[in-house]
Chains A and B, each alone.
Chain A
Amino acid sequence: MTKDECKKVVLDIIADIAPDEDLSNVKPDVRLRDQLQLDSMDFLDIVMELRKRHGIEVPEADYMQLASLDSSAEYLTPKFNALAAKR
């Protein structure tokens, strides 16, 4: 998985948990909370959906890694690739 593909995975999840938001111009280097109406429960949703849909675990200590699309991709892409390698 590339980092761009990883960003798409995260954006697809956000599209479901924040269905009123326009996601066409999300800036990858800006904090998601600064450009979208997302609260702490929504971030727990992102964590839950990564677990449910993709088997990816994000420990609480790493939640801050999901702050922006860029940081999410930086953090999650190796996890996705490690998981793919196991399969």
Chain B
Amino acid sequence: MKPARIVITGVGLTAPNGNSLPEFRQNLLNGIAGIERIEVRYMGQQLAGVCHYDALKYQKKKEIRVGTRAGSISIYCAREALADSGVQFEGMAKDRIGIYIGCTEHGNVETENEIYGISKFGYDTKFWSHYHNPRTVANNPAGEASLNLGITGPAYTIGAACAAGNLGLIHATQMLRLGEVDFAICGGVSESIHTFGIFAGFKSQNALATHEDPKKASRPFDKARNGIVISEGGCLYTLERLVDAQARGAKIYAEIAGYHVNSDASDYVLPNPQRQSECIRAAIGRAGLQPRDIHIVNTHATATPLGDIQECEAIRAVFGEGCPETSINNTKSYIGHAMGAAGALELAGNLPSFDDLTVHPSINVDDLDPQCALPGLVLNQPRKVAKVDTILNNSFGMLGINSTLIVKRFLP
């Protein structure tokens, strides 16, 4: 039996350069990045992608005070996605809705805050917040969304390092096909800029970007790239079985065409291009496609000197020179690395290409690294193309988790 066809019917997002898909897309086409300097505890000024959504649009002040930033981002994105989907939410069976949210990490922000807090009281743990546990449980972002929306179906997070955004969509697809739920809210979120630990960790790895102009700091594929810009963000989708979406006359952004997830099993942090190419090939195969059928490849490239080269090696191995209709781009050059949200946000930024037949470029490439000079790379200016029927989205993460998700133009 063929698996049920699954379609994307709504998108809600907040990125450092936009709080809706139209705004985000326009900035991607106009080359507008969203990186700024923020004060990081113990570390002073650091570059970061900060989201400026209106949290009070969907939350009370008390919810924001009690909850987490990741929870707030989840609520904003979930509510925006539901509104965009046009679904009659009030009449839905809330126990048949699933919330599946990818996270790179969760809890570090709150634990750091508490330790800092008790440091002001001689490290006496009686000053430790009673909110620490509900704020730091790994399901927190999804749980806060379920509380806010009154959704009583399964709501949990998927820990998959920086591949997590894709994993949210992939897991939702699987749950819809299994009949576990009838409607899914899925994708990824990140609150990472609120923990100093991630900045300090990347700095200790010599993988934290620096640049005098914040908006030029994230520069995948450029010779002068010097690391990651850490960002917060979120992007959640509504996914439905095609028959359900059609029955309610839903707008359909795209259909899930194929996916694959694998593991390097080779290093804690260093990517493995062999496993990455295996992941990409497997996803293309599961979609019933050939590499030449892929029209946009959105790279994971984070602007680390080695990581970009290794992903380009993996892409070159799959697409080679024989895919003249394949365009390749990168979104982190605008928004930095939104960690658990990255895959979901980066896919969203490309979805409008089905309609406008335009590929947004990677920006900040003043001097292309020859080792990253892939055929089809779209640099600095948007490119009009004849056809966009498929988008392939790579997201890779630490401990060697690789994910590739392919969506295709919806054709009845």
Interface residues of A (CB under 8 A from B): 17-20, 37, 41, 44-45, 48, 51-52
Nearest A residue to B124, CB-CB? A51
**Interface residue count on the B side (C-beta < 8 Å):** 11
- Distance from A77 Cβ to chain B, minimum over Cβ atoms (Å): 23
User: Is the C-beta of B2 less than 8 angstroms from some C-beta in chain A?
Assistant: no
User: Is the C-beta of B248 less than 8 angstroms from some C-beta in chain A?
Assistant: no
Query: Would you list which residues of chain B between 47 and 79 have a CB under 8 Å from chain A?
Result: 60-62, 65-66
Describe B's contact surface by its main secondary structure: helix
- Pick from A18, A20, A45, A48: contact of B127, CB below 8 A: A48
Interface residues of B (CB under 8 A from A): 60-62, 65-66, 121, 126-127, 129-131
B residues less than 8 Å from A19 (CB atoms):
61-62, 65
- Pick from A20, A45, A51: contact of B126, CB below 8 A: A51
Q: List 22 A-B contacts (CB under 8 A).
A: A17-B62, A17-B65, A18-B62, A19-B61, A19-B62, A19-B65, A20-B60, A20-B61, A20-B62, A37-B62, A41-B66, A41-B130, A41-B131, A44-B130, A45-B130, A48-B127, A48-B129, A48-B130, A51-B126, A51-B127, A52-B121, A52-B127
Nearest A residue to B66, CB-CB? A41
B residues less than 8 Å from A48 (CB atoms):
127, 129-130
Nearest B residue to A18, CB-CB? B62
How far does the alpha carbon of A47 sit from the alpha carbon of B121 in the complex, in Å?
Answer: 16
Which of A17, A20, A41 has the most chain B CB within a 10 Å cutoff? A20
4 residue pairs, one from A and one from B, having the closest CB atoms = A19-B61, A44-B130, A20-B60, A20-B61
